[in-house]
Amino acid sequence: MKNSLFIILSLGLFLSSCRKEIKFEGDLAEPKLVINSVLTAGMEIVVNASKSSPMTSNLPTIFLTDATIEMWRGNQYLGTLEHNENGNYLLDHVVTPGNYRIQASAPGLKSVSAETSVPEATTFELGDISYNSPPLNEDHSYYDRKVEIIIHDPPEDNFYLLTYVFVNDSYLDYLTFYSIDPNIERNSNDELHDSGALINDNGFNGQRYRLNAHVFAPQLQQESSGFLFETINEDYARYIRSYRAGDNEGFFGEPVQYYTNVENGIGVFCGKNAQPVLILPD
């Protein structure tokens, strides 16, 4: 019942605390260096660099090929990243938990910097699974199973992203699931999480916590599904909150400023630690 499948995730970003949330001041039309990176434990470093466009323009993303990007882990200098394609810069260094710092520059733009951390992994496991369980979904049909997710939460403040995924040997896709657990952060009454459930441990800090989720079985009998559990840092959690707040506002909503921790620029430099996917039994 508890077979695991290790899924290697690529850069997934594009798509209260004392940490500083940077406000844009001055001329917003001034081009800025945009840096985005999700440092993932066990993977090599990937950073995307681009140049911002005026808010009212419909210009495509301007990826940079001539940026200089340097990386540190603590006081250890890791090196200069090399451009690959589409503004992606790579460094042949496997990410481990710890503190990281980035500095970047590009011709005609202000130099930028950012700091973040990659968290230690929090373990989780599957608990009891019951079949033909309520509630109804949006199409008024029943979910197939109720699955218990057991989180072994360490004592410090932690943030998690839980997703229900459809997997085979070559790809991964995200599925919807249902949960009314009070520790899942929400911006609306929508209980379906095809983009993942953002969880903070305020209500169970340092405890062995049980969370219930309702899921459908895969539609194709030869395929598998399971849960992907990621420990994310606070920068990533803040970005997710701001992104979802903006996405939920609709056409007539107020503009929402996405969270950024890039000094003198735009973007998010954050970290996560993903556990192997736990496959549900057939």
**Can you tell me the distance from the alpha carbon of 101 to that of 112, in angstroms, rounded to the nearest whole number?**
11
- What topology does CATH give the domain 9-119+245-273? Immunoglobulin-like (2.60.40)
Torsion of CA 101, 260, 64, 272, to 10 degrees: 60
**Burial group, residue 116, by CB count within 10 angstroms (0-12, 13-18, 19+):** buried
So what's the pLDDT on residue 7? 34
Distance of CA 12 to the CA centre of its chain: 6
Helix (H) or strand (E) holding 90: strand 88-94
**Burial group, residue 156, by CB count within 10 angstroms (0-12, 13-18, 19+):** exposed
Tokens of 248: 């939920």
Domains of the chain, by residue range, sit at 9-119+245-273, 124-232
This prediction has a pTM of 0.84
Q: Which residue bears the tokens 């009212």?
A: 56
- Residue 136 backbone dihedrals phi, psi, to 5 degrees: -75, 150
Write the DSSP string, 142-189: B-SEEEEEEEE--SS--EEEEEEEEE-SS-EEEE--B---TTB--SSS
Q: Which of 240, 230, 160 is nearest to 202 (CA)?
A: 160
What does the pLDDT look like over 42-73, one tens digit per residue? Answer: 999 999 999 998 755 667 889 999 999 999 99
So what's the pLDDT on residue 3? 42
Write the DSSP string, 91-127: EEEE--SEEEEEEEEETTEEEEEEEEEEPPPPPEEEE
**Can you tell me the distance from the alpha carbon of 270 to that of 133, in angstroms, rounded to the nearest whole number?**
37
Give every residue of the chain whose pLDDT is below 50, as ranges. Answer: 1-24, 26, 249-253
So what's the pLDDT on residue 17? 36
So what's the pLDDT on residue 10? 38
What does the pLDDT look like over 16-28, one tens digit per residue? Answer: 333 444 444 545 5
**Can you tell me the distance from the alpha carbon of 267 to that of 71, in angstroms, rounded to the nearest whole number?**
16
So what's the pLDDT on residue 20? 45
So what's the pLDDT on residue 167? 84
So what's the pLDDT on residue 187? 65
Q: Which of 43, 18, 65, 13 is nearest to 258 (CA)?
A: 13
**Can you tell me the distance from the alpha carbon of 5 to that of 279, in angstroms, rounded to the nearest whole number?**
7
So what's the pLDDT on residue 5? 40
Q: Which of 102, 80, 99 is nearest to 36 (CA)?
A: 102
So what's the pLDDT on residue 253? 45
B/e letters for 247-278, b = 16+ CB within 10 Å, e = fewer, are eeeeeeeeeeeebbbbeebbbbbbbbbbbebb
Q: State the SS3 of 8-25.
A: CCCCCCCCCCCCCCCCCC
